[in-house]
């Protein structure tokens, strides 16, 4: 990597004290300057500006010049070593190396790997495997970005700036065709790692702090009452499809995501404050309480599988298969039921929030509590979905009134 390099010693006369002015080293790389105090001072009358040295009239001044020559050689040596590694060099990097703090210098990939190792150690304590996988995914994308755009395997934290994260987001969107919201999640994870570095005093400030992660509203597919009834009444000759249908409906009636329903045990059932059966558990994703009173439809499904061999053997509440298999079978079920929507396990959670609860007058605060949301604003997304339904329903009502008016006029 060819970079223009220059070094100059100069006297900061404006800071002169007791007849002496401090000496500074100015490193210029590709037009960008970095100033370094040499922690030495000299009488301005004994300084040769053109050559950046003291007049060698005394032993003390000759020793000063020897020191400056040593600094010059050391900085140039560091520059050439980094250049040989094909690294993008900054004056700040050379400054740190000059004062022997390079052992304290951390690199982006090394701290990301350190962070992920710590996350891995906490799996099963307060971290779920999917979190570790997601951070590793971001790390992989980061390594590819450094290789493809900077021809490097790593970068010093001191090199990071706002433009880096802007370019990384652009890379995710253009090169890997990653959707906006997913790209923002990746950037948020990167910022968390950098925040860790700041908190550990590995860097002075977060260069990404000014980058605002935005989120676009996406269409959340839900089932209406007619489609839920259609699924409920459909008879299947294949056992696996019937089981998947029942588990999907159970999630429609409880609001549990796949990760939550998968880990439910019979021991999670207990009598609630009202004397009815509740599920008492925590969300796997956020570790927040998600206690849900069971609707009769959900209780029927639990009773149906009480003696299922898998449930008897493992103590599981329901015979849940892998998420991949569940979603694959749901596509098959949708086709058999004539449902045009692409069914996934997460649609069941959306359906509970909208069609089953909010549409039937359950307060949004109650729905938020059952869903295990940490913020009410998350639940309010479902309320926005309902606004669309209100609009559709009112349009149908307008059409009915219009038909009545037309009928009266025709009489």
Note the pLDDT of residue 313.
93
List pLDDT tens digits, range 347-405. 998 999 888 988 888 888 888 888 888 777 777 777 766 666 667 677 777 888 787 77
Range from 105-109, 229-233, 320-324, 394-398 carrying the lowest mean pLDDT: 394-398
**Interior angle at CA 344, CA 270 and CA 351, nearest 5:** 60
User: What would the mean pLDDT of 223-241 be, rounded to a whole number?
Assistant: 92
Does residue 242 or residue 382 have the better pLDDT? 242
Both structure tokens of 161: 């700036």
Domain end position, chosen among 60, 78, 104:
104
Rounded to whole angstroms, the Cα distance separating 140 from 135 reads 9
For the whole model, what pTM was predicted?
0.56
Specify whether 264 is located in the same domain as 370: yes
Does residue 15 or residue 103 have the better pLDDT? 15
Note the pLDDT of residue 285.
65
Query: Whose CA is closest to 15, among 46, 41, 54, 49?
Result: 41
Note the pLDDT of residue 103.
45
Report residue 195's pLDDT band, with 50, 70 and 90 as the boundaries: very high
- The CATH number of whichever domain residue 245 belongs to comes to 1.10.443.10
Residue whose pair of structure tokens reads 């056992």 in the numeric block: 239
Rounded to whole angstroms, the Cα distance separating 42 from 15 reads 12
Task: Kindly write down the DSSP assignment for every residue of 342-402, as one continuous string.
Answer: ---HHHHHHHIIIIIIGGGT--HHHHHHHHT-SSHHHHHHHHHHHHHHHHHHHHHHHHHHH
Report residue 100's pLDDT band, with 50, 70 and 90 as the boundaries: low
Q: What is the dihedral of CA 107, 109, 114, 119, to 10 degrees?
A: 140
Specify whether 97 is located in the same domain as 127: no
Whether residue 127 is predicted with pLDDT greater than 90 in this model: the reply is no
Specify whether 195 is located in the same domain as 254: no
User: What would the mean pLDDT of 127-153 be, rounded to a whole number?
Assistant: 88
Both structure tokens of 171: 């890379």
Residue 321 lies in a domain: yes
Residue whose pair of structure tokens reads 């849900």 in the numeric block: 292
Whether residue 102 is predicted with pLDDT greater than 50 in this model: the reply is no
Specify whether 118 is located in the same domain as 99: no
Query: Whose CA is closest to 154, among 142, 172, 168, 141?
Result: 142
List pLDDT tens digits, range 247-301. 999 999 998 888 889 989 999 898 888 888 898 887 666 666 778 889 999 999 9
Domain end position, chosen among 83, 104, 125:
104
Range from 103-112, 188-197, 320-329 carrying the lowest mean pLDDT: 103-112
Rounded to whole angstroms, the Cα distance separating 222 from 339 reads 12
Residue 17 is classified by DSSP as: B
Specify whether 275 is located in the same domain as 161: no
For residue 48, what are the β-bridge partners?
53
Whether residue 304 is predicted with pLDDT greater than 90 in this model: the reply is yes
- Contact at 8 Å (CB) between 158 and 93? yes
Q: How many domains does the chain have?
A: 3
Whether residue 241 is predicted with pLDDT greater than 80 in this model: the reply is yes
Measured CA to CA in angstroms, residue 172 lies from 109, 146, 169, 210, 360 at distances of: 17, 12, 5, 19, 41
Specify whether 242 is located in the same domain as 323: yes
Start-to-end C-alpha separation, the chain: 87
Specify whether 145 is located in the same domain as 9: no
Domain end position, chosen among 85, 104, 123:
104
Note the pLDDT of residue 284.
67
Q: Angle formed by the axes of helices 91-98 and 59-84, to 10°? A: 120
User: What would the mean pLDDT of 42-62 be, rounded to a whole number?
Assistant: 91
Residue 410 lies in a domain: no
Specify whether 322 is located in the same domain as 348: yes
Rounded to whole angstroms, the Cα distance separating 392 from 398 reads 10
Residue 407 lies in a domain: no
Domain membership of residue 49 as a residue range: 5-104
Averaged pLDDT of the chain? 87
Measured CA to CA in angstroms, residue 212 lies from 19, 111, 112, 295 at distances of: 50, 22, 21, 42
Rounded to whole angstroms, the Cα distance separating 358 from 361 reads 5
Percent of the chain at pLDDT exceeding 70: 92
Rounded to whole angstroms, the Cα distance separating 147 from 125 reads 35
Specify whether 183 is located in the same domain as 323: no
Rounded to whole angstroms, the Cα distance separating 312 from 118 reads 36
Specify whether 254 is located in the same domain as 388: yes
Specify whether 312 is located in the same domain as 165: no
User: Residue 30: left (phi > 0), alpha (psi -120 to 50), or beta?
Assistant: left
List pLDDT tens digits, range 317-358. 999 999 899 999 999 999 999 999 889 988 998 999 888 988
Specify whether 145 is located in the same domain as 169: yes
Percent of the chain at pLDDT exceeding 90: 46
List pLDDT tens digits, range 174-189. 999 999 999 999 999 9
């Amino acid at each position: 990597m060819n970079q223009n390099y220059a070094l100059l010693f100069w006297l900061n006369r404006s800071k002169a004290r007791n007849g002496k002015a401090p000496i500074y080293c100015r490193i210029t790389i590709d037009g960008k300057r970095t100033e370094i105090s040499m922690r030495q001072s000299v009488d301005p009358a004994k300084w040769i500006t053109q050559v950046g040295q003291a007049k060698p009239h005394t032993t003390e001044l000759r020793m000063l010049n020897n020191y400056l020559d040593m600094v010059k050689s050391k900085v140039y040596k560091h520059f050439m070593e980094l250049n040989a590694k094909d690294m993008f060099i900054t004056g700040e990097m050379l400054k740190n190396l000059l004062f022997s703090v390079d052992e304290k210098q951390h690199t982006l990939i090394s701290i990301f790997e350190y962070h992920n190792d710590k996350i891995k150690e906490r799996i099963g304590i307060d971290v779920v495997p999917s979190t570790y996988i997601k951070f590793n995914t971001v790390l992989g994308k980061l390594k590819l970005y450094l290789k493809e755009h900077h021809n490097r395997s790593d970068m010093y934290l001191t090199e990071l700036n706002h433009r880096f994260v802007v370019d990384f987001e652009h890379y995710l969107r253009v090169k890997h065709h990653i959707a906006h919201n997913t790209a923002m999640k990746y950037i948020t994870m990167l910022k968390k790692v950098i925040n860790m570095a700041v908190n550990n005093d590995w860097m002075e400030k977060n260069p990404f702090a000014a980058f605002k992660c935005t989120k676009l509203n996406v269409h959340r597919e839900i089932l209406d009452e007619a489609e839920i009834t259609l699924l409920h009444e459909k008879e299947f000759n294949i056992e696996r499809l019937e089981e998947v249908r029942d588990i999907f409906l159970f999630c429609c009636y409880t609001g549990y995501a796949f990760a939550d329903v998968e880990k439910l045990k019979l021991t999670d059932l207990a009598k609630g404050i009202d004397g009815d059966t509740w599920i008492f558990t925590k969300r796997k994703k956020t570790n927040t309480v998600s206690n849900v009173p069971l609707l009769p439809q959900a209780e029927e499904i639990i009773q149906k599988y009480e003696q299922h061999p898998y449930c008897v053997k493992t103590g599981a509440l329901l015979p849940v298969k892998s998420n991949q298999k569940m979603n694959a079978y749901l596509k098959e079920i949708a086709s058999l039921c004539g449902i045009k929507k692409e069914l996934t396990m997460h649609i069941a959670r959306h359906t509970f929030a909208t069609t089953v609860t909010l549409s039937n007058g359950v307060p949004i605060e109650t729905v938020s509590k059952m869903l295990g949301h940490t913020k009410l604003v998350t639940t309010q997304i479902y309320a926005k979905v309902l606004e669309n339904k209100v609009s559709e329903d009112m349009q149908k009502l307008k059409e009915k009134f219009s038909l009545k008016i037309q009928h009266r006029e025709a009489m």
